[in-house]
């Protein structure tokens, strides 16, 4: 029986994918009990060839190919569709997991019959490591519903809810509730997390740092924002908030008013990225940003309800008046 599916989308990570896979294979359960699904999102470098070399040594490694780049969320979903494990662990391809952690992790999930197990992680800088316990509030490890877990640990710092890779999820729970990642790169874990915690019935925390999250400028979010293109700013503001709003619409009838308010504040925060863009970039880049908005006007209409009247007027004016 396959107890765990580790899903690793990758795109142009030849420098890191080997370290990621090494950590996955330095574990304390037989390889027959877990599978590793690597999804090549049309990489242009040597990443694919590196994965194929690991595939020669490990029968439980599956390589899935995208003919065109479909973005991170879609690549995660590709892995989900073919996963067979009782539990799912989504990894980023430039990260790694702790050696010999799978036996304990799966034992906790199965013994407690969890929908979601959250655990600690390490921010992995080039010259140091920092445990999340140094800056996150402490957590109890009792079993709570997802909404109880939000109230206990996230309500005052809602952004901490996001990382998809710091949790293991029961696959049947995700499938029954039709929880998938939106097909975007920026902020794809926000809508996913909202739906997970709105519907989960058994959530627990384990105070072990089992995940190493690499902090590097080459990653999707690690580079300086001054180097972002107009398209990337659009994705980080309008597109991300659009999918977050869709998730909110799906679950708002089952969540408390306090959680609704926290999600709305997150939507407003995402939308506010376009204010940051306007204040930092030249007129040519701004015009490119607003042209993208005009082309996608229907998808952008929902933001009006989250903007003040002054901002709404400016938004409409910039969208339609050149």
Q: What is the pLDDT of residues 81-111, one digit of tens each?
A: 999 999 999 999 999 999 999 999 999 999 9
Whether 101 is in a domain gets the answer yes
How far apart CA 241 and CA 191 sit, in angstroms, is 9
Q: Provide the pLDDT for residue 306.
A: 82
Same domain as 164, residue 94: yes
Q: Is the dihedral of CA 98, 102, 108, 113 positive or negative?
A: positive
- The enclosing domain of 112 has a CATH number of 3.90.550.10
Same domain as 240, residue 132: no
Both tokens of 35, joined, read: 């599978």
Whether 99 is in a domain gets the answer yes
Long-range contacts: 61-66, Cβ < 8 Å, 24+? 61/21, 61/35, 61/36, 62/35, 62/36, 62/37, 62/38, 63/38, 64/37, 64/38, 64/39, 64/40, 65/40, 66/39, 66/40, 66/41, 66/42
Looking at 174, 194, 214, the residue that finishes a domain is: 214
Mean pLDDT of the chain: 91
Overall domain count for the chain:
2
Helix, strand, coil proportions of the chain in percent (round to 5)?
50, 15, 35
Same domain as 278, residue 245: yes
Looking at 154, 186, 214, the residue that finishes a domain is: 214
How far apart CA 291 and CA 157 sit, in angstroms, is 34
Whether 219 is in a domain gets the answer no
pTM exceeds 0.85 for this model: yes
> What are the tens digits of pLDDT across the range 190-226?
999 999 999 999 999 999 999 999 997 454 444 556 6
Same domain as 316, residue 176: no
Same domain as 31, residue 153: yes
Looking at 162, 190, 214, the residue that finishes a domain is: 214
Whether 220 is in a domain gets the answer no
One pLDDT digit (tens) per residue for the chain, 322 residues:
899 999 999 999 999 999 999 999 999 999 999 999 999 999 999 999 999 999 999 999 999 999 999 999 999 999 999 999 999 999 999 999 999 999 999 999 999 999 999 999 999 998 888 888 877 888 888 999 999 999 999 998 999 999 999 999 999 999 999 999 999 998 999 999 999 999 999 999 999 999 999 997 454 444 556 678 888 888 988 899 999 999 999 999 999 999 999 999 999 888 887 777 667 777 788 888 889 988 888 888 888 888 777 777 777 777 776 5
Half-sphere exposure of 312 (CA within 13 A, CB side): 9
> What are the tens digits of pLDDT across the range 46-60?
999 999 999 999 999
Same domain as 241, residue 208: no
Whether 160 is in a domain gets the answer yes
Same domain as 311, residue 265: yes
Q: Which residues pair with 124 in a beta bridge?
A: 129, 214
Same domain as 257, residue 139: no
Q: Provide the pLDDT for residue 220.
A: 45
Q: Provide the pLDDT for residue 18.
A: 98
Q: Provide the pLDDT for residue 273.
A: 76
Strand ranges for the chain from DSSP E: 4-10, 34-40, 61-65, 87-90, 96-97, 116-125, 128-131, 167-170, 203-214
- What is the extent of the structural domain holding 293? 225-320
Same domain as 302, residue 169: no
Whether 71 is in a domain gets the answer yes
Whether 229 is in a domain gets the answer yes
């Amino acid at each position: 029986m396959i107890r765990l599916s580790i899903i690793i989308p990758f795109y142009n990570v030849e420098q890191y994918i080997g370290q990621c896979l090494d950590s996955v294979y330095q574990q304390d359960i037989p390889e027959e009990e877990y599978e590793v699904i690597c999804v090549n999102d049309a990489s242009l470098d040597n990443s694919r060839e590196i994965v194929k070399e690991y595939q020669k040594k490990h029968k439980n490694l599956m390589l899935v190919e995208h003919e065109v780049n479909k973005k991170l969320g879609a690549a995660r979903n590709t892995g989900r569709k073919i996963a067979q494990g009782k539990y799912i662990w989504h990894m980023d391809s430039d990260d790694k997991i702790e050696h010999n952690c799978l036996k304990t992790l799966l034992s906790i999930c199965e013994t407690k019959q969890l929908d979601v197990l959250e655990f600690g992680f390490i921010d992995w800088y080039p010259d140091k490591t920092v445990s999340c316990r140094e800056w996150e509030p402490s957590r109890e490890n009792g079993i709570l519903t997802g909404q109880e877990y939000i109230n206990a640990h996230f309500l005052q710092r809602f952004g901490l809810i996001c990382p998809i890779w710091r949790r293991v999820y029961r696959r049947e729970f995700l499938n029954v509730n039709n929880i998938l990642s939106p097909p975007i790169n920026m902020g794809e874990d926000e809508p996913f997390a909202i739906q997970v915690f709105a519907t989960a019935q058994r959530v627990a925390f384990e105070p072990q740092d089992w995940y190493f999250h690499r902090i590097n400028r080459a990653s999707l979010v690690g580079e300086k924002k001054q180097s972002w293109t107009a398209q990337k700013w659009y994705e980080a503001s309008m597109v991300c908030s659009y999918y977050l709003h869709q998730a909110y619409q799906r679950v708002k009838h089952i969540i408390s008013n306090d959680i609704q308010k926290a999600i709305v504040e997150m939507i407003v925060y995402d939308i506010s990225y376009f204010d940051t863009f306007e204040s930092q970039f030249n007129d040519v880049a701004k015009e490119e940003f607003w042209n993208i908005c005009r082309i996608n006007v229907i998808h952008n209409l929902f933001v009006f309800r989250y903007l003040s009247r002054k901002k709404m007027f400016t938004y409409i004016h910039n969208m339609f008046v050149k």
